[in-house]
Amino acid sequence: MINNAIAGDYKIVVDYFNDNVQKISGPTILKATIITNYGKINEESKTKIYKLDESEGELEIGTLHF
């Protein structure tokens, strides 16, 4: 939670590290919920699901503007 951020745009990035072991259950799944204006009348919540199937890397899942 960021209460008093410096004005500007912020990227929300996930850094995924794979263990390179074959999994019976398949690829790793990420469920991310981004809530803006938390606790205010104009609160918004967005949930997205990502399939992390690359061996390693960064995935940008959103941006915020303060």
- 10-26 pLDDT, tens digit each: 899 988 877 666 667 77
43-51 average pLDDT score: 93
Residue 3: inside a domain = no
* Cα separation, 44 vs 37, whole angstroms: 7
Residue 57: inside a domain = yes
Domain range enclosing 39? 9-65
Residue 23: inside a domain = yes
* Cα separation, 19 vs 23, whole angstroms: 10
Cβ–Cβ under 8 Å, residues 52 and 59: yes
Q: CA 35 → CA 15, 31, 46, 55, distances in Å? A: 20, 13, 7, 29
pTM beyond 0.75? no
30-44 average pLDDT score: 91
Residue 16: inside a domain = yes
Residue 4: inside a domain = no
Residue 50: inside a domain = yes
What is the domain count for the chain? Answer: 1
Angle at 65 between CA 60 and CA 66, to 5 degrees: 140
